[in-house]
Structure 1
Amino acid sequence: MSLAVDESAGAGPAVVCLPMFSTTRAATAAAFGPAFAGAGLREVYVDLPGHGDSPVTCRPASQAVLDTVCAWLDRHVDAPVLLAGASYGAYLAAGIARQRPELVRGLLLVCPGVTIAPASRTLPELDPPEAPPGWLDAAPTGLRAHLNVALGHRTPAVVATVLAALESGGPGDEKFQEELRAGTDYALPDEDADIAFDGPVSVITGRQDGIVGYADQFHAMRHYPRGTFTAIDAAGHYLPFEQPTLLRSLTQDWLHRTRT
Structure 2
Amino acid sequence: MPLAADRSPQAGPDIVCLPMFGTTRAATAAAFHPALADTGLRETYLDLPGHGDTPPTCPPTSQALLTTICAWLDHHIDAPALLAGASYGAYLAAGIARQRPDLVRGLLLVCPGITIAPASRTLPEHRPPPGPTGWLDAAPTDLRPHLDTALGHRTPTVVATVVHALNTGGPGDHTFQQELRTGPGYALPDETADTPFHGPVTVLTGRQDGIVGYADQFHAMRRYPRGTYTTLDEAGHYLPFEQPALLRAHTRAWLHRTGQRQTRTPQ
**Under a length normalisation based on structure 2, what TM-score does the superposition of the two structures give?**
0.96
Which residue matches 2:264?
Answer: none
Which residue matches 1:258?
Answer: 258
Describe the SS at the equivalent of 2:203.
strand
Question: Alpha-carbon deviation of 1:10?
Answer: 2.8
Which residue matches 2:101?
Answer: 101
Which residue matches 1:121?
Answer: 121
Question: Alpha-carbon deviation of 1:98?
Answer: 0.1
Which residue matches 1:85?
Answer: 85
Question: Alpha-carbon deviation of 1:12?
Answer: 2.0
Which residue matches 1:235?
Answer: 235
Tell me the distance in 2 between the aligned counterparts of 1:187 and 1:87.
Answer: 13
Q: Deviations over 1:111-131 (max 9, x none)?
A: 000000000000001121120
2:66 maps to 1:66: yes
Tell me the distance in 2 between the aligned counterparts of 1:130 and 1:183.
Answer: 35
Which residue matches 1:202?
Answer: 202
Tell me the distance in 2 between the aligned counterparts of 1:181 and 1:169.
Answer: 20
2:4 maps to 1:4: yes
Kindly report the root-mean-square deviation, in angstroms, between the aligned alpha carbons of the 2 structures: 0.7
Tell me the distance in 2 between the aligned counterparts of 1:130 and 1:62.
Answer: 35
Tell me the distance in 2 between the aligned counterparts of 1:11 and 1:58.
Answer: 31
User: Which moved further from structure 2: 233-242 or 123-132?
Assistant: 123-132
Question: Alpha-carbon deviation of 1:40?
Answer: 1.0
2:135 maps to 1:162: no
Which residue matches 1:111?
Answer: 111
Unaligned runs of 5+ in 1: none
Q: Deviations over 1:18-61 (max 9, x none)?
A: 00000000000000000001101100000000000001110000
Tell me the distance in 2 between the aligned counterparts of 1:149 and 1:54.
Answer: 29
Q: Deviations over 1:175-208 (max 9, x none)?
A: 0000000001100000011200000000000000
2:150 maps to 1:150: yes
Corresponding residue pairs, total: 260
AA matched with 1:88: Y
Which residue matches 2:263?
Answer: none
Q: Where do residues 6-85 of structure 1 align in structure 2 (5 Å cutoff)? A: 6-85=6-85
